[in-house]
Amino acid sequence: MWDFEQVDKGIRVDESCVNAGEPSTYDPNYLHLCKVCSAKRILPQDRYPKVLNEVFCVEADNGCLGNNNGKCVPTVFNVHILKKKQNVCRICVKDKEALAVDEWELYTQPITVGCECMLDKNSDYRSQWFNSKKDYSLPPIG
């Protein structure tokens, strides 16, 4: 899923999961449709921040809505991370004292921030929730 090398992704430490069918902590009258887990991603030492929180789908529990009507899909968000440049520093002068300061560069890393049950567009359930004649695509920009 990621297009970064393993070292760029860091190490994911799983913390806890909520099973499909369990009540939501936000509102116990609603049930989770997908198994969702939280984790911390510990990035390499040359990154800032060093730890990112993630929420992800459990791939083994890929179906939702029964009879192949839906699929649990990860929600991905791009975050900006700082990466220390190798063998590069800047000399700063403060109060007549020279200081060596690391130089950093900004890069974008996708992280999973959630899991949602997506309805198959060919499902019989579609007509129950959406007007089949309505176009749900985004309008053009500009």
In a domain, 28, yes or no: yes
In a domain, 27, yes or no: yes
What residues contact 34, with CB distance under 8 A and at least 6 apart? Answer: 20, 57, 58, 61, 64, 72, 115, 116, 117
In a domain, 97, yes or no: no
Per residue in 83-115, pLDDT (tens digit) is 998 887 777 888 888 887 888 899 998 999 999
In a domain, 126, yes or no: no
In a domain, 130, yes or no: no
Total structural domains in the chain?
Answer: 1
- Is a pLDDT exceeding 50 seen at residue 8? yes
In a domain, 62, yes or no: yes
In a domain, 138, yes or no: no
Domain range enclosing 34: 6-80+108-121
Per residue in 64-88, pLDDT (tens digit) is 887 778 899 999 999 999 999 888 7
